[in-house]
Amino acid sequence: MSDSPLVDPLLDDAEDDDFDALVGSDDVDLPRDRYTDREISWLAFNQRVLELAEDPELPLLERSNFLSIFASNLDEFFMVRVAGLKRRIVTGLAVPTNIGTPAQKVLEAIGSEAQGLQARHAAVWSETVRPALSAEGVDIVDWTELTDSERAGLYEYFQQQVFPVLMPLAVDPAHPFPYISGLSLNLAVRILNTRTGREEFARIKVPPMLPRLVRVPAKGDDERVRLLPLETLVAENLSDLFPGMEILQHHAFRLTRNEDVVIDEDESENLIQVLEEELLRRRFGPPIRLEITEDMDEHTLELLLDELDISEQEVYRLPAPLDLRALSELGDLDRPDLKYTKHVPVTALALRPTDSDSKHAKADIFSAIRQGDVLVHHPYESFATSVQAFLEQAARDPQVLAIKQTLYRTSGDSPIVKALIDAAEAGKQVLALVEVKARFDEANNIEWARILEKSGVHVVYGLVGLKTHCKIATVVREEHGQLRHYTHIGTGNYNPKTSRLYEDMGLFTADPVVGRDVTRLFNELSGYAIEKKFSRLLTAPLLLRQGLLRLIERERQNALDGKPARVRIKVNSMVDERIIDALYRASMAGVRVDVWVRGICSLRVDLPGVSDNIRVRSVLGRYLEHARIFLFENGGSTEAYIGSADMMHRNLDRRVEALVSVTRPTHVKELSQFFDLAMDDGSSTWHLGAEGSWERHHRGPDGEPLVDVQDRTMTLIQRRRRARTARGSV
């Protein structure tokens, strides 16, 4: 990593020593057991997701969706975190965790906890959500529940749509055991060959390109929705696949593989080529989890264990159906009564068209930004009429000379990419930094990079050893013979689809100071410039951790001096030990520390004399909380930042991140009020308690429901918009 232009090898060691002394690097005053294991904390986060699926007061189709999200989350956890831990154990590179636990013990604890959560997950579906859906006219049926006419209709569908794409693969001396792809759903079939009397084995992959839940033909005017799992339809028609054979047993199974990508960029002459080769190898990563139905016989299981080279400790027995990610398909049902009441994003007031008489009027985004910084909050405020409109206007504006943007993840039909292509084809200078190492989006981003290059966009892939995770875009426009920068810095990806599901923020500004900061940052990313100081930005990996530690230390000193002191941090994950230790020391000095975290939290709140002034809350709901916010009381003049960085080693040490200071008083107030809503005891949140436990608080002392943070935020934004509109019309 020292080869990166963002990591200055000439940084004065004495300066680092002075800085460590400033923030107190000596840990003698802090207990040794002051952290929670990050892997167990992640499982606690997914348990919170599961608790939403268990909540009888949530709409049923939303509960089924949370079951799907839980399953998807756990898959990625095994593919990346568990796989990485196993790899380090096998290679002898594993070290004790942040709480000193040996890696093998952590792996055992993960296995035990995950087993319990998966069993609980399956039970929520079979014992609670599925029966409740049936009561509402949505049935997930078994084959035995169907009439002869319904079976006939499904058989016709099987013959026309399913049978042609099935590929039964035999296992015998002439047919080796087939490759089992990661996360695929399969049937293990044992067959008796009636001609030879020999027992045979075959594997059938359930086609992933077909709907997993097959609609059962309706009976007359029956309005009930009846769905049959695709694997059941295949299993009940195995005789068509093996004519003349006797089907002895069939069982569903599913394999999870190590799908983390590891490349040595220092040894790579062509990053794209090496990455594509690694993506091919990822398909054949070693198995790390085998899910089987609870009725699988021992003979079939032994065969799978032997052929897949996996141990019994890595086997998860679960009731059918496996792979409940498929429950996301229920979201397509036209049952608004079983879903959240719809939220309609509004256009940020500053970006509304001035021509109110025209339905098709478009705002002049540049004119709006010139009036002052604009803070937008998605999905409560529209991404399409802010970020997307900003780039589309830049693409067609003849006064725009250049556009520079980072792309970490974007959608498959991205209007953002189209705007960059349109700009390049219009003769503008366009630079796109496409992060091709974005996990599980590598292939998609490589394809986008090639499309952009063919259109004349200058495409770069970031820095060796670092992922570019910051969300920045800048537009250079000629105005009256002068160049002006219009800049957007956000907390989330430039992805129109996830912008409707992820809670994020973005700041538009024409401040020349930010324009210079971002230009210098892009020069580092695309060239060989080294920038050690910015004015309104805090950037990783060189400056961000130090900047935040200094801000926390200032609050500690203010508390000791009797001045107002408070730290409020909203992130996805809180893991970095130096940040956590600084928060502990601030708490010990009397600083109020509020942490709003969605996922992992290694910070503890049960350390007497250390964490007495620390509160940690978590909000989960219809939107995925994703914005990162940092607020420092600063003696009564709050200093605020938003940006892309979580408090994790990877964000602070191995990624290019950017936070921008929010300076407009109305915006600082808005951020403060939003944060305080989540920390209010009258809001529905999870509270972090002793030994890393989380307790949900969603009802008041009299049993009344507490405030839903996301619903209230939408209401407040709409109310603020109506109030300002009314004032403007007076």
Helices then strands, each counted (H, E), the chain: 21, 27
Strand 566-571 versus strand 592-597 pairing type: parallel
- For residue 240, count other CB atoms closer than 10 A to its CB: 14
- Closest to 582 measured CA to CA, from 606, 547, 617: 547
What backbone torsions phi and psi does residue 330 show, to the nearest 5 degrees? Answer: -65, -20
C-alpha angle 498/48/75, rounded to 5°?
60
What backbone torsions phi and psi does residue 537 show, to the nearest 5 degrees? Answer: -115, 145
Assess whether the previous peptide bond of 208 is cis (omega < 30° from 0): no
CA distances (Å), origin 304, targets 66, 236, 294, 297: 31, 22, 15, 11
Tokens, residue 506: 């973005």
Residues in the chain: 730
- The span from the CA of 462 to the CA of 456, in Å, is 18
- For residue 437, count other CB atoms closer than 10 A to its CB: 21
- The span from the CA of 525 to the CA of 532, in Å, is 14
Active site residues: 469
Strands (E) located in 387-501: 400-407, 429-434, 458-460, 467-468, 471-479, 482-490
The residues with which 631 forms a beta bridge, in sequence order, are 568, 640
**Helix boundaries (H) for 24-144:** 38-54, 60-76, 83-91, 103-123, 130-135
CA distances (Å), origin 298, targets 207, 293, 304, 688: 26, 12, 10, 42
Close Cβ partners of 587 (under 8 Å, ≥ 6 residues apart): 593, 610, 611, 612, 613, 614
Residue 348 contacts residue 666 (beta carbons within 8 Å): no
Run of H or E residues at 2: none
Close Cβ partners of 666 (under 8 Å, ≥ 6 residues apart): none
Residue 373 contacts residue 506 (beta carbons within 8 Å): no
The percent of the chain in helix, strand and coil, each rounded to the nearest 5, is 40, 25, 35
The residues with which 601 forms a beta bridge, in sequence order, are 574
C-alpha angle 440/423/273, rounded to 5°?
35
Close Cβ partners of 113 (under 8 Å, ≥ 6 residues apart): 40, 43
Residue 575 contacts residue 38 (beta carbons within 8 Å): yes
**Helix boundaries (H) for 270-364:** 271-282, 298-308
